[in-house]
Structure 1
Amino acid sequence: MTSRTLYLFGSAAPPVFDVAKVVEDAQRRGFDVCLGLTPTAASWLDESLDGLAALTGNPVRWEYKQPGEPDVWPKADVILVAPATFNTVNAWALGITRDFVVGVVAEGIGKGIPMVAMPCVNAAYVQHRRFEWSVAELREMGVEVLFGEGGFVPNQPGSGKPNEYPWHLALDAAERAVSGPNSA
């Protein structure tokens, strides 16, 4: 099987602590994984970053490279943004590229890279009108957003169930995005 490159981008939500298992699952599915994190997610996983880099075989990134530095990752065949927090979803939809992962996915839309996003937000955040708008905006730009039935369903504030985050749905969607409709 030819290796396909998956950029796996995680925000600071509790399911990000399972990212090593997700990387292993993606590798079993034939992906070469490049892991990118928001700065807060990187700080949460600080003690695991070296191990995650060893697991993926690629440096873990959370900051933009300096001008003139070579790109250390292969080109992405597909990008999966999960867990995608309220902040990440809104910044991406609005094109606010302060963070490395949001900058890459914002540019990825213009490059035509297949992208999947699965939010991880509670029901209180979902009440904010900007969130619904942002999900619709990303979908309109061609991003497959796994939110609601068939994706992530929000819980009430303070009653998170990170062990029930449907990672398998996100990886399934990433596989479909690079396999095309006729390869099942």
Structure 2
Amino acid sequence: MTKPTLYLFGSAAPPVLDAARVIEEAQADGWDVCLGLTPTAARWLTDSLDALAALTGRPVRWDYRMPGQPDVWPKADAIVVAPATFNTINHWALGITDKWLVGVVAEGVGKGIPMAMMPCVNRAYVAHPQFERSIDTLQGAGVRVLYGDGGFVPNEPGQGNPATYPWRAALDAVADVLDPTSIT
């Protein structure tokens, strides 16, 4: 039996720099992992992209493929979007799909793919009125939002500590897909 496929998607926030460790943890949990990034996160990880592709056995993606090009990834059984920045969260909730990663998760809502999203935002972003509307929209669409107790708790601007980002909560949020009887 093949392993279920997890799309691990990350935005440009400091916890994305732990991508290799999180991929290894997800693989140890039983996932076949594909790594997708926002364009800025891909730039942050430029020096690691080849190693990350070797770790997953698949190319790291951050841009739409050209018409006629084959999809090089298997279909997702689950998607984790973490860290999710203010920009990614709002674009997703509003359906603005100019970035490949947002296009995949926006379509994933309609496909019924199990998804979890964990923000990485500071309290100044949280104070913006669109943030809560976007969180509510994504929750209403069936996305498991890991925000607050049991997920990500915002910090003061400039006071975040990437080492405390609760990656385990993000992986656990889609762990029910690892049960072969739950894969559709």
TM-score, length of structure 1 as denominator length: 0.96
Q: Deviations over 1:85-119 (max 9, x none)?
A: 00000000000001110000000011110100000
Aligned to 2:97: 97
Which amino acid is 1:124 matched to?
Answer: A
Contact 1:6 1:78 in 2 (8 A): yes
- Is the contact between residue 34 and residue 73 of structure 2 (CA under 8 Å) also seen in structure 1? yes
State the match for 1:144 in structure 2.
144
User: Match of 1:47?
Assistant: 47
Amino acid of the structure 1 residue aligned with 2:141 = M
Q: Deviations over 1:20-43 (max 9, x none)?
A: 000000000010000000000000
The corresponding residue for 1:88 is 88
Within 5 Å, give how 1:157-176 maps onto structure 2.
Answer: 157-176=157-176
Q: Note closer, same or farther for the CA distance 1:178–1:131 as it changes in structure 2 (3 Å cut).
A: farther
Q: Which amino acid aligns with 1:119?
A: P
Give the structure 1 partner of residue 68 of structure 2: 68
Equivalent pairs counted in the alignment come to 182
- Name the residue aligned to 1:9: 9
2:116 aligns with 116
**Cα distance in structure 1, aligned partners of 2:42 and 2:179:** 30
Structure 1 unaligned runs (5+)? Answer: none
Q: Which amino acid is 1:75 matched to?
A: K
Q: Give the Å deviation of 1:174.
A: 1.6
- Output the aligned Cα RMSD: 1.5
Residue pair 1:20, 1:52 contacting (<8 A) in 2 also: yes
- Greater than 4 Å deviation, 4+ residue runs: none
In structure 2, C-alpha distance between the alignment counterparts of 1:131 and 1:155, rounded to whole Å: 15
